[in-house]
Structure 1
Amino acid sequence: MGSDRPVFVVGCPRSGTTMLQLMLHAHPRIAIPPETRFLLGAYTDRASFGDLREPANRRGLAEWITGTRTAFGDLGLDPDAVVEEIVTGPPTLGSALGTVFRAYARRFDKPRWGDKRPAYLNNLVPLLRLFPDAQIVNIVRDGRDCVASLGETPWQQGKDVCHAISDWARAMDSSAYARRILDEDSYHEVRYEHLVADPEPELRAICRFLGEEYDPAMAEPARLADVAVPSRKSWHRLTHEPVTTDRVGSWRERLEPWQITLCEAKLGSRLRERDYPLSGAGSPWWRGPGRVHHLHYAHVDGPRRTVAARRGLSRLRDRLRPVEELAYRPPSPRELLPG
């Protein structure tokens, strides 16, 4: 009998989180949905839903979760059934959200559930307030490959390359924070390059962390891509193909020399900490087209650091005032009865 702790896949965007989602979803006991995108919004706006001890307020929350402004439609669930299950379930925000994930797992006749979203890595405190016993799997990839891949996504079009560089820097800082606050039973890191080069030993290590038996189907995630990756997400097209090392180190061809120089100037210490050797390629930053971006980086990254500082103050305020009851509670046998 395996664990019933929820599983969350995190990482910098374009680190392989969707591939890892599919690998875990291939396990016979685990269901990890496509990005739901309602968890953090529900947490941020939790006051607007009112006291969840009132069934009417739980219904309002449930209708927001299952509404058209979230990605609930990608889950293939009956919204009316999910609304009723939330209304009759335990009166906490984590329980309402967990009800959706549990329903998704039932769709595949699996007992264990979780979620995947890169943004959770920078929001571990809210995640753990909602799911205190969560197990977090963080996938780490060479920052230069992440920057190159981010530059090809629809949501980065028109943005300065500094945004992608800052994304990876924040993700590595959040990873360091996770290692400080979480024990080895709650947090596990996997290296993208190792996972694609030889999936089985890395997946076995993840299964040991999760308290599950390894299943060979996990090494063939492309078989599930049609089921667990929405077709509209064209940037995930490679998940429909076999696991490959073709993209490892592809930053050498995909980034211009000045972009490589800028990446290594801004990410150098973090790359070295992760044993990603620097190339030293390109001209010094103060020469060529990269100099403007080098000076612009502080304007992009600075406000993001301010956001992180505000989150730190918010965490301190939470410690100084009574903590809301937010955590997920498994439904009682009575709450599981139809009607």
Structure 2
Amino acid sequence: MRRLIPDPVFVLSPPRSGSTLLRSVLDSHSRIHAPHELHLTLLAVEERSWAAGEHSDRYASIALGEIGLTLAEAEHLLWDRVLHHELTRSGKQLIVNKTTDNVLNWRRIAECWPGARYLFLFRNPAHIADSLARAWAHRPDIDTVARTKMFVTAMDAARAALPGHDIRYEDLTARPETTVRALCEFLGVPWEPDMLEYGRFDHGTYVRGIGDWSDTIRSGVIQPPRPAPVAVSEELRSACAAWGYPEQATR
């Protein structure tokens, strides 16, 4: 089905992997719009009854079926329209959507946009779990190691099925120019040095719920990563090794 945005770019990453930094750098490009988290897959089309107390009718599904749509396909139209609205509002040519839950919903995204491209953003899983624990220190009920493993599993499945470009958070922060130059080449846009000075541009408000809200991202300066934790959970050692962090796999 025709899309208003036929080839959007999606960042797939676990939380606390530097995706807000990446989107801020990309949004600093004159041709790229990378907005805050849009949570597209949380926008749903709901079928309601025609009148109170009537629970058996499916009039909306019947009507959609007559025009060749399912409820899921109607949701896809909604998501596409939101992206188109945002890109049009920006006045730019290419949209990059960064939302943490994208990687958990990659199958629906790929179904909606067969022509989409993907940026796979990796970070040391031990560091992800440590950062999650600090960010959610007020929520002791959240198992940050289990959450990290869930996203690692989803990332592996998405990367095995979808075309894309790999980026490591550690490279983005330690070698930003080399990393972003390669990213621009993948996206088919010219390299712009000002991208690395993302604090010079307006990227909207950094608030909880639509991206990173820390003082680090608010600084407007790419900063080196924290050292990875000395102690690594046994449950994350295999993920560290598989993602190219062997030094963490033995700690």
Task: State the TM bucket, normalised to the shorter chain.
Answer: 0.7 to 0.9
Distance apart, 1:270 and its partner CA: 1.4
Tell me, yes or no, if the aligned pair for 1:4 and 1:111 is still in contact at 8 Å. no
Tell me which amino acid in the other structure corresponds to 1:124: W
1:148 alignment partner in structure 2: 130
Q: Of residues 214, 222, 225 in structure 2, which corresponds to 1:243? A: 222
Task: Check the 8 A contact 2:8/2:116 in 1, yes or no.
Answer: yes
1:198 positional shift: 0.9
Distance 1:176 1:227, change over 3 A: closer
SS in 1 for 2:115: coil
- Cα shift at 1:223: 2.7
Higher helix share goes to which structure? 1
> Aligned partners of 1:10 and 1:147: how far apart in 2?
17
Name the amino acid aligned to 1:228.
G
Shift of 1:205: 1.5
Correspondent of 1:114 among 96, 110, 126:
96
CA distance in 1, matches of 2:140, 2:118: 30
Matched AA of 1:103: H
Letter matched to residue 192 of structure 1: Y
Secondary structure of 1:137's counterpart equals: strand
Determine if the alignment matches structure 1 residue 267 to structure 2 residue 236. Answer: yes
What stretches of structure 1 of length at least 5 have no aligned partner?
55-60, 62-90, 253-259, 282-339
Match of 1:169 among 127, 146, 149: 149
8 Å Cα contact 1:121-1:175 kept in structure 2: yes
Q: 1:280 to 1:129 in 2, by over 3 A?
A: closer
Structure-1-length-normalised TM-score? 0.59
Matched, 1:278 2:244: no
Residues 217 and 105 (structure 1), Cα distance of their counterparts in 2 relative to 1, 3 Å cut? farther
Q: 1:136 aligns with which of 118, 130, 139?
A: 118
Name the CA distance, whole Å, in 2 between partners of 1:250 and 1:269.
Answer: 16
Q: Quick one: distance in 1 between partners of 2:87 and 2:25?
A: 15
Distance 1:174 1:231, change over 3 A: closer
For 2:205, which of 192, 215, 229 is the aligned residue?
A: 229
Q: Distance in 2 between matches of 1:52 and 1:217?
A: 52
Give SS of 2:85's match.
helix
Residue 92 (structure 1) shift: 4.0
Pair 1:28-2:11 in alignment: no
Residues 165 and 266, structure 1, Cα contact 8 Å, conserved in 2: yes
CA drift of 1:41 comes to: 2.1
| SS of aligned partner of 1:200 | helix
2:42 matched residue in structure 1: 41
Q: Residue 195 of structure 2 aligns with which residue?
A: 218
What CA distance in whole angstroms lies between the structure 2 residues aligned with 1:30 and 1:95?
Answer: 22
Cα distance in 1 for residues equivalent to 2:171 and 2:62: 44
Instruction: Please state how far the C-alpha of 1:160 moved relative to its aligned partner.
Output: 4.9
Aligned to 1:17: 19
| Aligned residue number for residue 123 of structure 1 | 105
Q: Tell me if 1:159 matches 2:144.
A: no
Distance 1:203 1:52 in 2: 48
Matched, 1:104 2:80: no
Q: Helix, strand or coil: the match of 1:175?
A: helix
Gaps of 5+ in 2: 49-59, 65-70
CA deviation vs aligned residue, 1:232-280 (integer Å, no higher than 9, x gap): 66733311221111x332434xxxxxxx24x2x1011111122211275
1:15 is paired with a residue of what secondary structure? coil
Check conservation: 1:9, 1:138, Cα contact below 8 A: yes
The Cα offsets for residues 36-92 of structure 1, whole Å up to 9 and x where unpaired, read as: 22x2123xx4353745977xxxxxx9xxxxxxxxxxxxxxxxxxxxxxxxxxxxx84
Q: Distance in 2 between matches of 1:231 and 1:40?
A: 20
Q: Distance in 1 between matches of 2:141 and 2:250?
A: 22
In 1, Cα distance between equivalents of 2:203 and 2:155: 30
Which is higher, the Rg of structure 1 or of structure 2?
A: 1
